[in-house]
Each structure stands twice: as structure tokens, then as C-alpha cells.
Amino acid sequence: MSICMDTYAQQKSVGIFDGDNQIGTATQSMPARYTASTQAYELSSMGTTQDESHFLWKRIKGDFIVYTRAHRSTSDAVHQIGWMARTSLEPNAPYVRAAVNSKGATSLYVRQTAGESINENRTTLTDADIIQLERRGNTYTLRAARFGEPFQVREVSDINLGDELYVGLFVTALARKQQTTCMFQDVRITVPVKVDATPGRMDLGSRLELLDVMTGKRDVIHTAPNSIQAPNWTNDGKTLIYNGQGFIYSFDLGSRQQKVLNTGEVKNNNNDHVLSFDGKTLGLSSGVDELGGSIIYTVPVTGGTPKQITPKGPSYLHGWSPDGQSLVFCGARNNEYDVYKIPADGGPEIRLTDARGLDDGPEYTPDGSHIYFNSNRTGTMQIWRMKPDGSQQEAVTNGEFHDWFPHISPDGKWIVFLSFLKDEVAAGDHPAFKHVYLRLMPIQGGAPTVIAYVYGGQGSINTPSWSPDSKRIAFISNTDVSTLSPAEIAEN
């Protein structure tokens, strides 16, 4: 897939989009507006038919996933808003559109040939504000939701619109003298992994995003052409720490610049790295083949010579005790993956779980009363918790999805975790480049809510990623950025 500039009418770019056009004879009241500080787009339109739209577009070749959270017009005008992929800018062009109308109906619309009638595939959802359109070859998929809820999905196949399309946001007002305005936030154009890509490879680019937990507002603060993973937040709130290509990086949130953190000869670091509760020490997991795989080390948060903690692997670090005396990790011993505890300075391992299957992702609560972890012992990966000595193990989630990597907020009130879809991922797997949710639930229990709809998975939030004030989450989403210009990378 590639993203190309189009020469149509010498268009002026708007944010990440190449052109801003009125389709048909509708009267455009104002050009599309992009506000860099909020990374939001505003479109207005006046018209009479579905073929008269205000269209903010980019030329895209091949597969794509486009996503937004839409805030619809407050006017009473009859309208549609959403995403559209079309063969040309002519009014009667073939297209696929993922749309929500003024009555709240959410549908996938298709016109396969120029001037043909339009077919509608409607969801049972009303008033969706999360709208996503995906192309895989000649298959187009609508994923839509009311923010906080899982997607509803509609799909059409064998829709041959050609390889290169105009793809973008649209607003259609279906009344000549009534204007409709819509604000689109969290706009993402994602180039997914190729269908025939080698499984397990982490070779797409990365977006480092910050998420406001209460509002769901997302901001891209850094885009990398390679895989960066698992951001940790330092105690002063000024720096993120993540891994990439075996190195550990520190990312200054003020300057938005990254630099390599000195970890001595330990340079095969993976995405299981954790800061101690006092913020002074960083725990690492780094591959050492001759010792059986991933080995746990500790190093000062400012960098230095790491100290080896576990004698053998695989050992994947996930948590510190609040008093700094113990580490908890996922260890593979005798062909079983279980949760283990070990002194932070090294010493004998203590096995905390012994159920058949995979127990992973252990993390202490800030008060030290529990360890949360994920386990597929029931056949579905769920969030569990136990006492620090391994007693009183109980499930926290109900198995609707495959849930991984519980992270407890610093104020001890919330849990955020990663949820894979059962039709995409097996219970014991957590691959990259999938449709995943970040979900939030009160620590005392209750129904989880979706707080982010993400193309990612492995590496998105493997380790604790809360801000010190418990208001934000740092995470990684993925896309192929090899075709983007530096300016597009800055906006994307």
C-alpha cells in the first residue's frame, strides 16, 4: 500500500489530508479546518443529495484502516457524516462509505459502478461516534461504536473499486439551506501489515500516543518508522521510557526528543521493563540465548551497568512490590508459564501460580494488597488477582474478550488492560497488528468500558503505562509509515 499526493486542482493539504473538495453542487460554507493543538478537523456542508458532500481526502493505494471519533452537528439539518473511499471526485463515482445519519442510523453504503443505485448494509447501532472503515483487497469493513462500547461490524466483499482511491472524511447535508458541521477528533490513517506478512515480525512503524482516561481524547506525540514498545511513565511526569531494536529509550515530553538510555552490555531488551514505585530503578528483560531466553536485570533509571537478577530464562518482568523488595515476573519453567516472585537484589524464586496454561503480566497494587495478572486457565484469557503470597486467586473479568496486562492506576482506583478479539487471536497469544481495545474498570469491580480502539497489540501496553496523576495512559499504536513524508509523520 502507498499514500500518494494527487495533482487534482493543485490541492492544498489540510493536516494529514491532501485535498479539500466539494463533491457535486453543494454550497461549501467554509474550508475544512485543522487545529494542530487538538489534532481535530472541522467540516461543514450544505446540499440536497448523498452525492453532494464536503470531502477531505487523501489518495491511498492498497489496504488501509481509517478511524475517527466524530462529534455531530448540533443543528436539526438532515445529514450524513463519516468516512468515504471513492474512485474519483465526480458526483456519481463508485464508492464505499461508513456513515452515521442525523437519525443516528449507522450503515455501510456501496455504489459499485458510476451512477448506480446505492446499497445499504445497516447496523443495529444508533448514534455511533466511533467510525472506522477498513479495506483489505476488495473487502470493506465498517466498525462502529458508541464510545465506551465494543464495535459492531458490517462487511461487504467483492467490491472492485481499483487499487488507488480517494479516501477521507465527509459531511453531507441533505437540505439546501441548512448547514451541517461536524468535528472529527482522533483521526488516524493506518497502513496495516500485509496479509502475507511473516507472523511474529514487528516491522511496522509506531505512534506514541497519550490518552486522557476520562474523556478518551488521544494525542499522537511521536511517530517512529520502526517498532517502539511499552512506554513507562517516570514519577516526575516528564519522561517516558520505552524499548526499540533492543535499546531502551527515554523520551522527553517537553522537547519531544528521544535518546538512548545507557544499559551497558545489555542490548537485547524486550518490552517487559518496569520502574520501581520510588522511580529510582528500572527493571529490564533482555534476551540471552545461552541462559534460556529473557533474563531480568535492574539498572538505575538514569542508566548505568545493569545487575542480573534471574539466573535463567525465559523470565519476563512485569512488576515491583511497592516497598521495592520484590519483583514479580512471568517465568517459563518445565514447559509451564507461571507467575514468580524474586528478591529485587536476586535470590531464590517463589512460584505463585501453578494452574495449567499461561499465567502472565503480574503487577502489584500500589498498596501492596494484591497482585493482578492474566491467565487462560479457563480457556479464555482473563484478568485475575491474588494475594502477594499467591493465595485467593480469583477471576476479575468474564471472558468476553482475551484480556491481557492489567495495570493499576497510581491512585489505586482503576485497572486498564488490553483486550484482543476472540475471532482474531487465540487465548494464549498476544500478537502485534490486531484490532484491540484498551479497557478500563474500577478496581472494586464493575463492567469494563472501552477507552481506546487501537490497531496494535503486542507492545502497546505490556507494562505499567499510567501517568503519575492517574489521568493519562501512554500506549503504542502501529502503522506502516514508510510512505509518509516528514511533514506527514509530524501530523500523523
Instruction: State mean pLDDT over 296-310.
Output: 98
Q: Which helix (H) or strand (E) is 355 found in, with range?
A: none
Are 361 and 397 members of one domain? yes
Do 319 and 235 have their domain in common? yes
- Do 81 and 155 lie in one domain? The reply is yes
The CATH number that applies at residue 258 is 2.120.10.30
Domain holding 130, by residue range, is 2-190
Sign of CA dihedral 237, 243, 249, 251: negative
Residues 177 and 231 in one domain: no
216 with 163, same domain: the answer is: no
Same domain, 212 and 311: yes
pLDDT digits (tens, 9 = 90+) for 188-233: 999 999 988 888 888 899 999 999 999 999 999 999 999 999 999 9
> Is the domain of 232 the same as that of 175?
no
Q: Does residue 398 sit in the same domain as residue 440?
A: yes
Residue 195 included in any domain = no
DSSP symbols for 255-314: TTEEEEEP-TT---B-S--EE-TTSSEEEEEEEEGGGTEEEEEEEETT----EE--SSS-
Q: All 3 cell numbers of residue 277?
A: 514505585
Domain boundary pick from 165, 190, 215: 190
Q: In what order do the strands lie in the sheet with 257-261?
A: 229-233, 239-244, 247-252, 257-261
**Tally of domains in the chain:** 2
Model confidence at 47: pLDDT above 80: no
pLDDT tens per residue across span 309-350: 999 999 999 999 999 999 999 999 999 999 999 999 999 999
- Mean predicted confidence (pLDDT) in 266-274: 98
Domain boundary among 190, 214, 241: 190
pLDDT of residue 175: 67
pLDDT band at 10 (very low <50, low <70, confident <90, very high): very low
Average pLDDT, the chain: 93
Does residue 148 fall inside a structural domain? Answer: yes
Q: Are residues 428 and 303 in the same domain?
A: yes
For 175-184, 230-239, 434-443, 446-455, which range has the lowest pLDDT when averaged over its residues? 175-184
